[in-house]
Amino acid sequence: MTDMNAVVEKFKSRQALIGIVGLGYVGLPLMLRYNAIGFNVLGIDIDQSKVDKLNAGQSYIEHIPAANISKARETGFEATVDFKRASECDALILCVPTPLNKYREPDMSFVINTTDAIKPYLRAGQVVSLESTTYPGTTEEELLPRVQEGGLVVGENIYLVYSPEREDPGNPNFETRTIPKVIGGHTPNCLEVGIALYEQAIDQVVPVSSTKAAEMTKLLENIHRAVNIGLVNEMKIVADRMGIDIFEVVDAAATKPFGFTPYYPGPGLGGHCIPIDPFYLTWKAREYGLHTRFIELSGEVNQAMPEYVLGKLMDGLNDAGKALKGSRVLVLGIAYKKNVDDMRESPSVEIMELIEAKGGVVAYSDPHVPVFPKMREHHFELSSEPLTAENLASFDAVVLATDHDKFDYALIEAKAKLIVDSRGKYRTPTAHIIKA
C-alpha cells in the first residue's frame, strides 16, 4: 500500500506535478490557477494546434489573455500531445467534453478514450480526477475498472475522485479560485487525497459522500437552471399575449429578498452545459424505470424558442409589407451568451439556419467572433459585419440574439429599420422594436 500521507504531503508542499488532460474552457483556467500558486503543470491534449499555440505562449480563448499563457510557460507549464507523459504526473485531472449524440444520449467517447489513453501510464501514488459533467455512476462504471485494469487498487495505491467543473466564462465576479469545489471520492482515502489536491487551488472544497453524489450535484445545478429558464420562457409567451413586459415582471419579482431567484428569458439555451447536461439524468433515469418530466418539458420549451423568435421576425416584416424570403436580416451576437466567444449550442446559430431555410439572406455581427467558426453541425461562410449607421440601415431587420456589452445599442435603435429583441435590452416600446 502506498503511503497516503506522503501523497497528501506532496500536494500540500506543492511539489506535485499536476497533469490536466483537455485544455479547453475548463482545463485552461485550472492550469493557470495551479501554475499561479507554484505548481508545475503538464497539459495534455489530442489537438496538436492547441498544444503548439500554448507552448508558443498564445491563447485561443478570448477571455484568457496570451500574456497569462506566456507567464505560465516561463514558470513551469508545458503542453504536450504525448500521453506517455501521464506517468510523470502526480494528479491527472480530466477536463474533456461530454456531448450528446443525435438521439440525446450521452456521448462518453471522450471520457472513455481519454481514460484508455492514460491507462497504460498510470502508477502507484497518483490521483485521477474526472471533472466532465456526466450521469451518476460514470466514475464507478467507466473509470474504476479501467484504472484498476493493470493491477492498481483504487483507495490503496491509486486514488479516484469526481469533482465537477464550475466555470462561468465572461463572469467577472467569479474565478476558478473563488468558486467552491464539490468533490466525491471512491473511498475515504480517495476523498482525502482529492481534497489535498484541490484545497491548494480552491478557497472552499465541499466534500460529499461518493462520486455518485458529486455527479448528481452537478446535474442538479444545471437542471435547476434549465428548468427555471424553461419556466420563464413559457411565461414570456403568456405575458406577451397579455401585453405585459416579462422583463419588467422579473425585475419586480426579484425585489423579493427571499424565495425568488431571477431568471431571464432569451432566444433559447446555449453553451456546453445547460442545454445538454440535464439529459444525462434523463438517460440514466430510464435504467431505473423513471421519467424526468420537468427536464423533458423544459427542454421542449427552450428548444422551441428560436422558432418563436423567427415567428416574431416574420410578423415584424409582414407589418412592414415584406416577406422573410429575400429580406436581409442581421443577427446580433452569435456566441451563446454575452461577452464571450463560445459558440457551443448557441441558439443564435439555429435562428440563422431558420431564417436561411425560409429564404432570408442572413448575416451576423459579433465583436467576439470575427469569423464564423467551423462547427460540426453548422456551416456558414460568413464574417462579422461592422456595426456602422450605413450598414445597419441596409438590413430589413436586425435580430438581437446575444446582448454583448460591446454593441452600440443607441446606434442600433436609431438606424435599424426593425429590431427583434430577444433579450429585453429595449424596454421603451417603439414602433420598430418587437419583443421576442
Place of cell 491534449: 45
Is 273 an active-site residue? yes
Assign residue 137 a region: left if phi > 0, alpha if psi is -120 to 50, beta otherwise? Answer: left
Q: What is the largest CA-CA distance in the chain?
A: 79
Q: What is the DSSP string of 300-358?
A: HHHHTHHHHHHHHHHHHHHHTT--STT-EEEEE--SSSTT----TT-HHHHHHHHHHHT
Q: What is the DSSP string of 237-305?
A: HHHHHTT--HHHHHHHHTTSSSS-------SS--SSSTTTTHHHHHHHHHHTT---HHHHHHHHHHHTH
How many angstroms separate the CA atoms of 60 and 52, rounded?
11
C-alpha distances in angstroms, 198 versus 103, 162, 191, 194, 419? Answer: 35, 11, 10, 6, 47
β-partners of residue 209 are none
Beta sheet of 181-185, edge-to-edge order: 77-80, 40-44, 17-21, 91-94, 127-130, 159-162, 181-185, 205-208
- The residues annotated as belonging to the active site are 273
